C-alpha cells in the first residue's frame, strides 16, 4: 500500500487517540508536543459519542477490525480519522547468537518527561534487541532511540488490562536466554515501588546477567517540578515515601500511620489516589493537625501536570473534585505550603496548572502522515 505524507494542523485543536498500545502512546506524545488538546482513551472506554467533541481521531487500538469500526463511525459523523492498522509490534523470533546468553538491563525511565531519562538509560535502550516497557515509562522516546527493537507493552492499567508479573519475568528470561539484550523499561526508578528487586531476583535465579541503571524517582521529581522541596532548612529534616496502594488497616498494609503522623518529616504518598481519604483519616486520627499543608501533583513533569494545594483536612476532597487520577503524588507536611518568595499559602485550595514543562524527546514521524503544529 502506498502512502503520502500529509501535514495535519493540530495546534489548539481537540484530538482523540483511541488505544493503549505503544503506538497510541507515541502518537499522543507527538500530538501534545505539537500543541493539540489531546484526549487519550483505552479501547474499552471509547464510545461513538467521543467522536463528536474531536476535530481529529487516531484509531490505534492494535486491532484492525476495531480501528476500522472507529474510522467508519468517524466518517459517518464527518470527522477525519487516522487508522494505525497495526497491531502492537510482535516479538519476531531471533536466532540464538551461537549459544551466547543475553542479558537484562533494568532501566529507570524517570518520572515521565523523556528529557529526564538518564544518558546511560538512553544508551541502553539504543543497544536493546527487546524493550519490555511499562505504560508510565517514557515510551514516546522509543521510536527515536530503539527503531529496530521489538517493543513489548506489559502495562498494568488501573481498572483495565493487566500483565501479570510472572509473565513479565518469563519474558525477560526467555529473551535473554535466547541471546538478546533485553531492556526492562520502567517509570521512575525501578527500585522505588517498581518491583525491580523481584525482577532482578528472578533473572539471577534463572542464570541471567542483570545490570541496573537507576532512574529519577517521581517521588522526588514530581514535587520538585511543582517547586516543592521534600526537605527545606527550618521546615523539615527528612521525608518518608509510602505506597498507598492499599488503605490503612488492610491486611497487606505494613505502614504505621500513627508513627508517621508524629515523625515530623515530609510524607510522600505514591499510588494513593484511590485511598487518599482513608490515609488522611488515619493521619488525623493519629493526631496530625488538620491544618498541615498538603499538595497533590498529577502527571508530574508532563505538559499535563496539575498541582493542587490545601490543608490536610480537605486535600482528598480537592483531589476528588478535580477528578485526579493516577499517576499522582501527594505531599503532606510543612514543605507542601512552601511557595518561593515567601508568599503565604492561599486560605482556600488553589489548583495550579503547569504549562512550562520542557519539550519531550523528538520521535520519528509516523509513516504516512506528519503532525504539524499550525
| Catalytic residue list | 134, 156, 271
Residue 7 has a CB neighbour count (10 Å cut-off) of 11
Q: Is residue 270 left, alpha or beta, with left meaning phi > 0 and alpha meaning psi from -120 to 50? A: beta
List, as one string, the DSSP characters of 89-158. Answer: PP-------TT---EEEEEE-BSS-GGGS-HHHHHHHHT-SEEEE-TTS-GGGHHHH-TTSEEEE--B-T
Q: Is residue 211 left, alpha or beta, with left meaning phi > 0 and alpha meaning psi from -120 to 50? A: beta
Q: How many CA atoms lie within 13 A of 274 on its CB side?
A: 9
The β-bridge partners of 14 are 37
List, as one string, the DSSP characters of 1-21. Answer: ------EEE-TT-EEEEE--S
- For 65, 97, 136, 191, the CA distances from 323, given in Å and listed in that order, are 32, 50, 19, 29
How many Å apart are CA 40 and CA 23, to the nearest integer? 12
- For 55, 106, 172, 186, 198, the CA distances from 205, given in Å and listed in that order, are 52, 16, 12, 21, 11
List, as one string, the DSSP characters of 230-260. Answer: SSBTTTBS-EEEEE-SS-TT-TT----HHHH
**Sole residue written with cell 482513608:** 278
Please give the helix or strand (H or E) that residue 297 lies within, else none: strand 293-298
- For 17, 42, 49, the CA distances from 73, given in Å and listed in that order, are 14, 17, 10
330 neighbors 294 (Cβ within 8 angstroms): yes
Amino acid at each position: 500500500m502506498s502512502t503520502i505524507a500529509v501535514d495535519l494542523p493540530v495546534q489548539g485543536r481537540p484530538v482523540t487517540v483511541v488505544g493503549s498500545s505503544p503506538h497510541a502512546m507515541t502518537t499522543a506524545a507527538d500530538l501534545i508536543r505539537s500543541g493539540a488538546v489531546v484526549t487519550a482513551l483505552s479501547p474499552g472506554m471509547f464510545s461513538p459519542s467521543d467522536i463528536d467533541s474531536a476535530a481529529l481521531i487516531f484509531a490505534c487500538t492494535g486491532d484492525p477490525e476495531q480501528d476500522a469500526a472507529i474510522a467508519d463511525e468517524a466518517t459517518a459523523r464527518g470527522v477525519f480519522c487516522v487508522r494505525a492498522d497495526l497491531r502492537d509490534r510482535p516479538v519476531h523470533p531471533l536466532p540464538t547468537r551461537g549459544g551466547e546468553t543475553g542479558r537484562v538491563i533494568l532501566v529507570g525511565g524517570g518520572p515521565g518527561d523523556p528529557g529526564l531519562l538518564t544518558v546511560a538509560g538512553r544508551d541502553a535502550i539504543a543497544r536493546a534487541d527487546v524493550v519490555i516497557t511499562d505504560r508510565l515509562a517514557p515510551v514516546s522516546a522509543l521510536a527515536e532511540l530503539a527503531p529496530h527493537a521489538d517493543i513489548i507493552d506489559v502495562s498494568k492499567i488501573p481498572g483495565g488490562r493487566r500483565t501479570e508479573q510472572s509473565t513479565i519475568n518469563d519474558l525477560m528470561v526467555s529473551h535473554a536466554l535466547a541471546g538478546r539484550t533485553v531492556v526492562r523499561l520502567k517509570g521512575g526508578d525501578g527500585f522505588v515501588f517498581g518491583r525491580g528487586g523481584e525482577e532482578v531476583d528472578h533473572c539471577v535465579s534463572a542464570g541471567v546477567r542483570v545490570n541496573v541503571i537507576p532512574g529519577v524517582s517521581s517521588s522526588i521529581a514530581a514535587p520538585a517540578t511543582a517547586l516543592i522541596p521534600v526537605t527545606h532548612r527550618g521546615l523539615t529534616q527528612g521525608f518518608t515515601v509510602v505506597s498507598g496502594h492499599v488503605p490503612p488497616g488492610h491486611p497487606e498494609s505494613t505502614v504505621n500511620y500513627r508513627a508517621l503522623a508524629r515523625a515530623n518529616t515530609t510524607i510522600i504518598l505514591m499510588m494513593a489516589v484511590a485511598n487518599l481519604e482513608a490515609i488522611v483519616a488515619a493521619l488525623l486520627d493519629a493526631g496530625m493537625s488538620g491544618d498541615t499543608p498538603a499538595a497533590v501533583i498529577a502527571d508530574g513533569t508532563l505538559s499535563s501536570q496539575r498541582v493542587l494545594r490545601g490543608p490536610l483536612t480537605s486535600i482528598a476532597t480537592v483531589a476528588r473534585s478535580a477528578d485526579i487520577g493516577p499517576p499522582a503524588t501527594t505531599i503532606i507536611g510543612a514543605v507542601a505550603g512552601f511557595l518561593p518568595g515567601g508568599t503565604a499559602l492561599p486560605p482556600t485550595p488553589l489548583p495550579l496548572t503547569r504549562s512550562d514543562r520542557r519539550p519531550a524527546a523528538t520521535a520519528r514521524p509516523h509513516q504516512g502522515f506528519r503532525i504539524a503544529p499550525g
